[in-house]
A and B are shown apart, each in its own frame.
Chain A
């Protein structure tokens, strides 16, 4: 066996991780496509969904690096769950203040919170008890940035 070849279980792990990331992309794609198709008269609804997803994904992606390693190994899912709820709360606070242009819109709040929930589940699916490898981090950063940017463009354009 080639000494430089990756171990079979490492290859299987990477394949499983890639399939989970694809599932995450697929789930976001299904929700976003439905919004863009059936609510195309209100692009701000799609915008809030994507912005909620992207911002939450970005915030949750910091958790493995902010938490002590031992704590992350034991309590990672709990941190992600609490972090998601924290992002939902932050979104509600922003909707009630900075983004309160006419009135607090509960539909906008629901859309961005739905995005946050999807992001929380995405991280729960992909995260491991260990800090993510650079490739996973790169995918997460790109997805977070793209979703957040698309969200703001759709909401404010």
Chain B
């Protein structure tokens, strides 16, 4: 059950990071890389290679905000990305919204099964 709950939390964590909202940034976008997955155009992995060596995965929507070579800055938790000083709004992605909605039912399924397992055990004498 704990493994399952950690996975529910992990899904939220990793999808949120790809929106950049939780992250702090202050670097120039050196180049971007797009790698295709099982459904090209739908689940592509977009990687930003920042000056300094840091690599961050971002969503398509975020990727479209920034031209190559631009300087991107933001504070952790801020919902505005500054691209060469100009403010661009950041929003939660469809993945984040979806993961937030499935977290409850997933946790309910885990907890329901765990409760039934515990209830089924014979009492210790």
List chain A positions with a Cβ less than 8 A from chain B: 20, 23-24, 26-28, 30-31, 33-35, 37-39, 41-42, 44-45, 84-85, 88, 101-103, 105-107, 110-111, 113-114, 116-118, 120-122, 124-125, 155-156
> How many residues on chain B are close to A (CB under 8 Å)?
39
Which of A84, A101, A113, A121 touches B7 (beta carbons < 8 Å)?
A113
B 1-60 contacts with A by CB, 8 A: 1, 3-4, 7-8, 10-11, 14-15, 35-39, 42-45, 47, 57
A-B contact number at CB 8 A: 115
Interchain CB contact under 8 A, B45 and A105: yes
Residue of B nearest to A85 (CB): B3
Interchain CB contact under 8 A, A114 and B7: yes
Residue of A nearest to B36 (CB): A102
Set of chain A residues within 8 Å of B97, measured between Cβ atoms: 38
Which of A38, A102, A106, A121 touches B98 (beta carbons < 8 Å)?
A38
CA distance A155 to B10 in the complex (A): 20
Interchain CB contact under 8 A, A125 and B95: no
In the complex, how many angstroms separate the beta carbon of A84 from the nearest chain B beta carbon? 8
Set of chain A residues within 8 Å of B39, measured between Cβ atoms: 44
Interchain CB contact under 8 A, A106 and B101: no
